[in-house]
Structure 1
Amino acid sequence: MKRLFSIAALVCVSPLAFAQAPADVSGTWTTQTEVQGIAVNETCHFTEAADGALSGICETSAGKYKLTGKVTGTSVNFSHPANYQQEDMTVSFFGKLDEPTSVSGSIDMQPLNAGGTFAMKKISK
């Protein structure tokens, strides 16, 4: 009886533990963004901590930018500084993991008050 209870408890608890684990986005991703008809391609290198905290670098034709963010479940949110036409800004990405190697969502660029969309594909671990 005790063994049956232990197995039942394990079966009930295990799905909860897996449901709370953040997706693993560590690695290198290509990122395609579009803001007001302007396309920008980036390559982002993510490192994910056990708690889902993200760090790394995004590279564009304009330079390399340090990123910070967080993965919660299938939500992948991060931001990095950027410069457009000599104006400093913060680019924030709000995405969902579509599959283990694909993220898509929206972006927000401040203080330009501009928004758009993005799609990322994982190219290496």
Structure 2
Amino acid sequence: MTVAKTCVLVLDCAEPERLAEFYASLLGADVEAGGDPDFVVLTGGSGTVLAIRRDHGYAPPSWPRPDDAQQAHVRVLVAPEDLDEAEREAVALGARPVAAVTQPFVPGAREDRRHEERTFADPAGHSFTLAPAAPDEGVR
């Protein structure tokens, strides 16, 4: 039998409070103040948990340059009809657009619409993607 577990993605950066506010605003989450100023946790009503940790020697990821790995990224699911508004919110909060990729319709795929993902860099340089949620992913 496996012991019950949960998982939290931790993003490193130079200014955890600033990055926490960015993601709290983007995700509609709450910032949990703790005893350690170098570690901030965000929780959202939809079950979102994200942690931000100060790295005093932090250097942003260089993705999408081909010589370096992406490391990790946050995938933010959005109702398909809200994708444009979510993009405007992210940019207004300080995100920088990196790429938009539209995949053509594939017969037999889960969804009968084009699949579009929009990738951004957060204020600390981490990549995150706004992607349309499938109907069974419970966004709304």
Q: What's the TM-score, normalizing by structure 1?
A: 0.29
More helix as a share of residues: 2
Asked which structure has the greater CA Rg, the reply is: 1
TM-score (norm 2): 0.26
